[in-house]
Homo-oligomer: A and B are copies of this chain.
Amino acid sequence: MSVQLHNPADIAAPLGAYSHGVSGPGSGRWLHIAGQVGVHPDGSLADSIAGQAEAAWRNLVGVLADAGMTTGNLVKVNHYLLRCEHLQEYAAVRSRFLGDARPASTLLIVQALARPEWLVEVDAIAWRA
């Protein structure tokens, strides 16, 4: 049993590595992941949008693994960036981590994150049987 993707033909196709909707059965286990940022395991901060994106996604994958999941289990991902001009670099990192996974997705440009030097944050919901 796994999640089901919803990309109806009467909506313009997704403009990136996501699905318009993803549904999962009530049975199984739901994981909610806190906003992950570009902080390395030693507490230091990666120093570019690409570096922070890479570190944030590594952290996200670490939380998934702790719950017995991979990016293939992602149902919804929220991406928070500070600057529009970081979008392309961020999307490249995200695509690499997602592989074939196509979770539902929302991306916002916000004014700031909890610390002024954080450039990107990503949180998620995942499911496994």
- The smallest beta-carbon distance between A41 and chain B, in angstroms, is 5
Given known A-B contacts A23-B31, A29-B24, A112 and B84 have beta carbons under 8 A apart: yes
- In the bound complex, do residue A104 and residue B80 qualify as a contact, i.e. CB atoms below 8 Å apart? no
Residues from chain B with a CB closer than 8 A to the CB of A87 are 114
Of residues 22 to 44 in A, which have CB atoms within 8 Å of B's CB atoms? 22-36, 39-43
- In the bound complex, do residue B63 and residue A11 qualify as a contact, i.e. CB atoms below 8 Å apart? yes
Q: Give the number of residues in A that approach B within 8 Å (Cβ atoms).
A: 62
Identical chains bound together, number: 3
* A105 beta carbon closer than 8 Å to chain B: yes
Residues from chain B with a CB closer than 8 A to the CB of A76 are 32, 34, 123
- In the bound complex, do residue B110 and residue A111 qualify as a contact, i.e. CB atoms below 8 Å apart? yes
Residues from chain B with a CB closer than 8 A to the CB of A35 are 105-107
* A27 to B28 alpha-carbon distance, docked (Å): 8
- The smallest beta-carbon distance between A103 and chain B, in angstroms, is 8
- In the bound complex, do residue A31 and residue B25 qualify as a contact, i.e. CB atoms below 8 Å apart? no
